[in-house]
Amino acid sequence: MTKLGKDKDDATGQEGQLSSRGGVCLSNLLVTLEQRLSVLSAEEVVWDQAVGRVLAEPVVASSPLPAFARAAMDGFAVQSTDLAEATAERPCCLRITGKAYPARPYLGEVAKGTAIRIMTGAPIPVGADAVVMLEDCEVSPDNQWVYFRRPVAPGRHVIAVGEDVAQGQLVLQAGRRLRPSDVALLVALGLSRCRVVRCPRVGLILTGPELVPPGCPPAVGQIVDSNSPMLAALIDRDGGRLVWLQRLPDERQQLLAVVQQALQQEIDLLLFCGGSSRGDEDFVPQVAAACGELVAHGLALKPGAPTGFAWLFSGPPMTRRLPAVLLPGNPVACLVAYELLAGRIVRRLAGRSWELPHRRRVLPLRDPVVSQPGRLDWVRVRFEQGRAVPLLGRGASSLFSLAEADGFLLVPENVAGYSAETPVEVYLFD
The residue ranges of every structural domain in the chain are 17-40+199-349, 43-63+172-197, 70-159, 360-428
Instruction: Give yes or no for a cis peptide into 423 (omega within 30° of 0).
Output: no
Would you say 201 and 268 are in contact if contact means Cβ atoms under 8 Å apart?
Answer: yes
Q: What pTM was estimated for this model as a whole?
A: 0.86
Looking at 92-225, list the stretches that DSSP marks H as alpha helix, in order from N- to C-terminal side: 180-188
Residue 300: φ, ψ to 5°: -80, 75
For the segment 219-223, the average pLDDT, to the nearest whole number, is 92
Q: How confident is the model over 20-72, as pLDDT tens digits?
A: 346 899 999 999 999 999 999 999 999 999 999 999 999 999 999 999 999 99
Tell me the DSSP string of 68-115: S-EESSSEEEE-GGGGTT--SSS-EEEEEEEEEBTTB---SB--TTEE
Q: What are phi and psi of 347, to 5 degrees?
A: -65, -40
> What is the CATH architecture assignment of 70-159?
Beta Complex (2.170)
- Spatial contact of 203 and 268, defined as CB atoms under 8 Å apart: no
- pLDDT beyond 80 at 138: yes
CATH of domain 360-428: 2.40.340.10
Contact between residue 170 and residue 58 where contact means Cβ atoms under 8 Å apart: yes
Three-state DSSP class for 330?
coil
What is the predicted pLDDT for the residue at 392?
85
Strands 369-370 and 301-302: unpaired
Rg (CA), the chain: 32
pLDDT at 18 (0 to 100): 34
3-state SS record for 245-269: EEEECCCHHHHHHHHHHHCCCCCCE
Is pLDDT above 70 for 1?
Answer: no
For residue 278, which phi and psi values (nearest 5 degrees)?
-125, 25
At residue 2, does pLDDT exceed 50?
Answer: no
pLDDT in tens, 344-377: 999 999 999 999 999 999 999 999 999 999 999 9
Could you give the strand order of the β-sheet that contains 320-327, starting from the edge strand earlier in sequence? Answer: 241-248, 201-207, 269-273, 320-327, 308-314, 292-297
Task: Compute the mean pLDDT over every residue in the chain, rounded to the nearest whole number.
Answer: 92
Which H/E stretch holds residue 284? helix 284-290
pLDDT at 5 over 60: no
With respect to CATH, is domain 17-40+199-349 assigned 3.40.980.10? yes
Q: Say which CATH topology domain 43-63+172-197 has.
A: Molybdopterin biosynthesis moea protein, domain 2 (3.90.105)
Q: How far is CA 165 from CA 185, 188, 190, 237, 261, in A?
A: 10, 10, 12, 32, 50
